[in-house]
């Protein structure tokens, strides 16, 4: 009988690039990384495969690693009857996507850790998420599960085959149910907006009930609808959602940046991991919210989020890491981010302590369920209410600055949750776009330099014109080619950065990437597959042999909708209508597949809305204070598809003929066009804002 691997013995995972895999190297499990070897071994030995998919930021993955996978009996059972495979979902999103779908079709649940039992051919026959070593947490113990699965495998192979067949049947039914009658894009937008409005929480803002995820794409759709269709309700709900998230515990009130989601519907208590993909999307939402509504609180959140990104995730050589863990030690649950009364008393005193306790709701709805002494800080009352009756030199605003500085200093002395510094192209593309937009809006040139360094590093070391951008970048170059999300997200980042800086080489690289997407990733109905059969360099194993189409937001923008938006943004930047035509050709197939998906179709509806509107181009001519004021106004005024240039940019940027013909023929002024129709020049910031807010109708007036 095989014995479990001795703890501390050399592991196949010890030298892997993945932080998550390396962290499991000392477990007594004979783990295999994803690849042909474990599948071949399973075929030779006739054993089933245990597939564990998780991530370095995942709290329950840590719980299972620190409890279940160090249990000697679990190790013995795995060594005796199974081949164990461990996958980092950030490193192999294409593997995670397919097996989440298969386990979900069987059990109706998904998430991380994903625990799946596969045939040697890679087909799921049983699965779930977290399992404790012995019965508990309302779940069967993994020892019992492993014994029963091994018995089924030996004694009832017909049940294994039935389960595998049932999963494939369920997946086929899901595919069929997701295909709806073809409808016009206007009808699609209206239907999605109606469904999202029906899911809006009028008490707390946001969408749905607990657990409550941020849905930044739904907020973006509301912003578009409020402006394009003059629907005040959409504007009001977008603004209220942004306010409630900003004031809740899901936003780190001390260190900036957003946690993954809220476990309660009031945004008080978060799941504490901080994800790069979420923070990039939320940063964009708050930049747009600040441009649209001008609220100082939204600017504070933009600055706080960029501050966290730069302090925690940024690589000084260039690029942004992928996540910060929820925990700082085994058995921890958010200890780094929470505060007891005694910890606050040791940091603050007197009226400052009273002010902070009132303002941050200490002892109220932010108490941790497993330890009510620990509090998540959230903004419960206004500064003025918190300061009532207290002596605070400099007023409540200055008091808050002092409180936050002291809390940051105290928290810096705690053990810090681990940071996954892996550089992934999809996450970096999103960060490049968001940080570039934030830097342009708030006039922070150092942020633009951060975005530029990230783009330059990937272009230098993980990009080839005929292969696109690699998924992961490390000291040895790029790894993992041929994934759609990398090409689309990175191209989107280059478009935003190139437009902000008016720098041709970024736009040229983005054009190459989107051309590659158009040629290499097409599948059924013109939709885009998540990987290119020609460019993908990973092994085609198990479920990877099946095509997959990322269509629904999850909750960040899906790759197909992101591609449509990137096509539209490139078209508006270069005035090349071929890219707009590609977006318009893609959108009906997206609408047909996700027509009744509500929140998860927000990205497709947003792309459809942008396709039906006119992009804006602003060229500010002149120099000095007047020109700077016009630029500042243009960059701080929200339009869903606008570009702002200081002077006339070089090719491949293209301007409407009317603007190009009148270059430099007047004093300091702003030239504004919607599509190819231009308004008379404006020289006043208030008139410029009114023109951008009003759109083509204001230009024609």
CATH of the domain at 106: 3.40.30.10
3-state secondary structure (DSSP) of residue 621: strand
Contacts of 243 (CB under 8 A, 6+ apart): 205, 295, 297
The domain in which residue 557 lies consists of 423-611
Phi/psi for 498 (5° steps) reads: -60, -40
- Same domain for 333 and 443, yes or no, is no
551, 594 Cβ separation under 8 angstroms: yes
Q: Which residues contact 450 (CB under 8 A, 6 or more apart)?
A: 310, 314, 435, 439
5 within some domain: no
CB 113 within 8 A of CB 57: no
- In this structure, is residue 140 part of a structural domain? yes
Q: State the Rg of the chain over Cα.
A: 26
69 and 130: one domain?
Answer: yes
Q: Which of these three, 553, 588, 611, is where a domain ends? A: 611
* 3-class SS of residue 672: strand
Alpha carbon separation from 333 to 34, 115, 259, 347 (Å, rounded): 29, 22, 13, 22
CB burial of 3-12 (b: ≥16 within 10 Å; e: otherwise) equals ebbeeeeebb
| Under 8 Å between Cβ of 290 and 441 | yes
User: What distance in Å separates the CA atoms of residue 639 and residue 610, rounded to the nearest whole number?
Assistant: 10
Q: How wide is the angle at C-alpha 112 spanned by C-alphas 329 and 172, nearest 5°?
A: 175
pLDDT at 176: 65
Structure tokens at 374: 């620990």
Q: Enumerate the H helices of 207-349 as residue ranges.
A: 216-228, 232-247, 276-293, 296-308, 341-347
* Residue 4 falls inside a structural domain: no
Rounded Cα distance, 350 and 563, in Å: 55
pLDDT recorded at residue 9: 42
Cis check: omega of the bond before 165, within 30 degrees of 0: no
Do 322 and 90 touch, CB atoms closer than 8 A? yes
Asked if 404 and 428 sit in the same domain, the reply is: no
CA atoms within 13 A on the CB side of 492: 31
Say if residue 475 is in the same domain as residue 373: no
In a domain, 73, yes or no: yes
Beta carbons within 8 Å of 372's beta carbon, 6+ residues apart:
none
The Cα-based distances of 693 to 70, 439, 520, 568, 696 in angstroms read 59, 21, 39, 20, 9
Domain count, the chain: 4
Residue 57's closest CA among 257, 301, 318, 339?
257
Q: Rounded to an integer, what distance in angstroms lies between the CA atom of residue 99 and that of residue 95?
A: 6
Write down the pLDDT at residue 280.
Answer: 98
How far apart CA 492 and CA 479 sit, in angstroms, is 20
Q: Which residues contact 676 (CB under 8 A, 6 or more apart)?
A: 575, 656, 657, 658
Quick check: is 190 in a domain? no
Query: How many C-beta atoms surround the C-beta of residue 203 within 10 A?
Result: 9
Report the CATH number that the domain containing residue 432 is assigned in CATH.
1.50.10.20
For residues 160 and 32, membership in a common domain is answered with yes
Assess if residue 8 is contained within a domain. Answer: no
Q: Which of 611, 646, 675 is the last residue of a domain?
A: 611
Query: Are 245 and 385 part of one and the same domain?
Result: yes
- Please tell me the distance from the alpha carbon of residue 13 to that of residue 200, in angstroms, as a whole number: 44
Of the residues 565, 590, 611, the one at which a domain ends: 611
Mean pLDDT of successive 10-residue stretches along the chain, which has 701 residues: 44 92 95 97 97 95 96 97 98 96 88 96 94 87 96 93 83 67 86 97 96 97 96 98 98 98 97 97 98 98 98 98 91 91 97 98 95 96 97 95 98 95 98 98 98 98 98 96 98 98 97 98 96 96 93 94 98 96 97 93 98 95 95 97 94 75 74 92 95 76 56
CA 187 remoteness from chain centre:
28
Are 414 and 433 in a shared domain?
Answer: no
With respect to residue 185, please indicate whether it lies within any of the assigned structural domains: no
Q: Same domain, yes or no, for 358 and 443?
A: no
List of residues 6+ apart from 679 with CB closer than 8 A: 672, 673, 691, 698, 699, 700
Say whether both 439 and 314 belong to one domain.
no
- Residue carrying structure tokens 């996954």: 420
Residues 603 and 549 in one domain: yes
Tell me the β-bridge partners of 473.
Answer: 423, 478
Indicate whether 461 and 597 sit together in one domain: yes
Is residue 193 in some structural domain?
no
Helix (H) or strand (E) holding 584: helix 577-594
Residues 429 and 542 in one domain: yes
Q: Which tokens is 438 given?
A: 């934030």
């Amino acid at each position: 009988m095989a014995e479990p691997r001795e703890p501390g013995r050399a592991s196949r995972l010890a030298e892997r690039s993945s932080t998550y895999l390396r962290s499991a190297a000392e477990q007594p499990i004979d783990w295999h990384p994803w690849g042909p070897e474990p599948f071949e071994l399973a075929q030779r030995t006739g054993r089933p495969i245990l597939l564990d998919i998780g991530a370095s930021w995942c709290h329950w993955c840590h719980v299972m690693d620190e409890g279940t996978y160090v249990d000697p009996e679990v190790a013995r059972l795995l060594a005796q009857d199974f081949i164990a495979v461990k996958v980092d979902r950030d490193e192999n999103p294409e593997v995670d996507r397919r097996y989440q779908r298969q386990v979900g079709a069987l059990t109706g649940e998904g998430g991380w850790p994903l625990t799946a039992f596969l045939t040697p051919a890679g087909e799921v026959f049983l699965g779930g998420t977290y399992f404790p070593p012995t019965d508990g947490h309302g779940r069967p113990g993994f020892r019992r599960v492993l014994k029963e699965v091994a018995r089924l495998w030996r004694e009832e192979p017909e049940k294994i085959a039935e389960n595998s067949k049932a999963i494939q049947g369920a997946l086929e039914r899901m595919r069929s149910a997701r295909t709806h009658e073809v409808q016009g894009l206007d009808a699609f937008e209206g239907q999605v907006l109606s469904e999202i409005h029906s899911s809006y929480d009028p008490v707390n803002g946001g969408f749905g009930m607990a657990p409550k995820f941020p849905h930044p794409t739904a907020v973006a759709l509301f912003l578009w609808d409020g402006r394009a269709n003059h629907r005040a309700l959409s504007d009001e709900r977008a603004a209220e959602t942004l306010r409630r998230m900003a004031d809740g515990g899901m936003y780190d009130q001390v260190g900036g940046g957003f946690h993954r989601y809220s476990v309660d519907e009031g945004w008080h208590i978060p799941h504490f991991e901080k994800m790069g993909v979420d923070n990039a999307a939320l940063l964009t939402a708050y930049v747009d919210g600040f441009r649209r509504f001008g609220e100082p609180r939204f600017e504070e959140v933009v600055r706080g989020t960029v501050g966290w990104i730069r302090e925690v995730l940024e690589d000084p050589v260039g690029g942004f890491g992928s996540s910060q863990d929820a925990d700082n030690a085994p058995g921890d649950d958010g200890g780094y981010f929470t505060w007891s009364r005694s910890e606050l008393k040791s940091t603050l005193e007197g009226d400052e302590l009273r002010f902070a306790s009132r303002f941050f709701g200490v002892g109220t709805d932010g108490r941790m369920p497993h330890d009510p002494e620990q509090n998540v800080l959230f903004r419960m009352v206004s500064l003025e209410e918190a300061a009532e009756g207290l002596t605070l030199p400099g007023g409540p605003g200055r008091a808050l600055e002092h409180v936050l500085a002291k809390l940051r200093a105290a928290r810096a002395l705690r053990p810090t949750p681990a940071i996954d510094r892996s550089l992934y192209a999809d996450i970096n593309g999103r960060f490049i776009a968001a940080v570039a937009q934030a830097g342009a809006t708030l006039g922070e040139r150092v942020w633009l330099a951060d975005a530029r360094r990230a783009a330059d590093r990937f272009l230098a070391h993980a990009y080839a014109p005929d292969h696109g951008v690699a998924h992961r970048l490390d000291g040895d170059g790029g790894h993992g080619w041929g994934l759609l999300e990398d090409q689309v997200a990175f191209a989107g980042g280059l478009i935003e950065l190139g437009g902000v800086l008016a720098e041709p080489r970024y736009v040229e690289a983005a054009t190459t990437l989107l051309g590659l997407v158009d040629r290499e990733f097409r599948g059924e109905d013109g939709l885009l597959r998540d990987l290119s059969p020609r460019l993908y360099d990973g092994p085609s194993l198990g479920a990877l042999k099946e095509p997959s189409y990322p269509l629904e937001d999850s909750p960040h923008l899906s790759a197909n909708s992101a591609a449509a938006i990137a096509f539209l943004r490139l078209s508006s930047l270069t005035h090349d209508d071929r890219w707009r035509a590609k977006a318009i050709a893609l959108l009906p197939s997206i609408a047909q597949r996700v027509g009744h998906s509500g929140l998860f179709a927000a990205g497709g509806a947003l792309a459809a809305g942008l396709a039906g509107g006119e992009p804006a181009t602003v060229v500010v001519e002149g120099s000095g204070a007047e020109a700077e004021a016009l630029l500042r106004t243009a960059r701080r005024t929200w339009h869903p598809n606008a570009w702002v240039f200081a002077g006339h940019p070089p090719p491949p940027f293209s301007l409407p003929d009317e603007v190009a013909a009148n270059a430099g023929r007047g004093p300091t002024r702003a030239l504004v066009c919607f599509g190819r129709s231009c308004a008379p020049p404006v020289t006043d910031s208030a008139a410029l804002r009114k023109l951008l807010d009003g759109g083509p109708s204001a230009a024609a007036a």
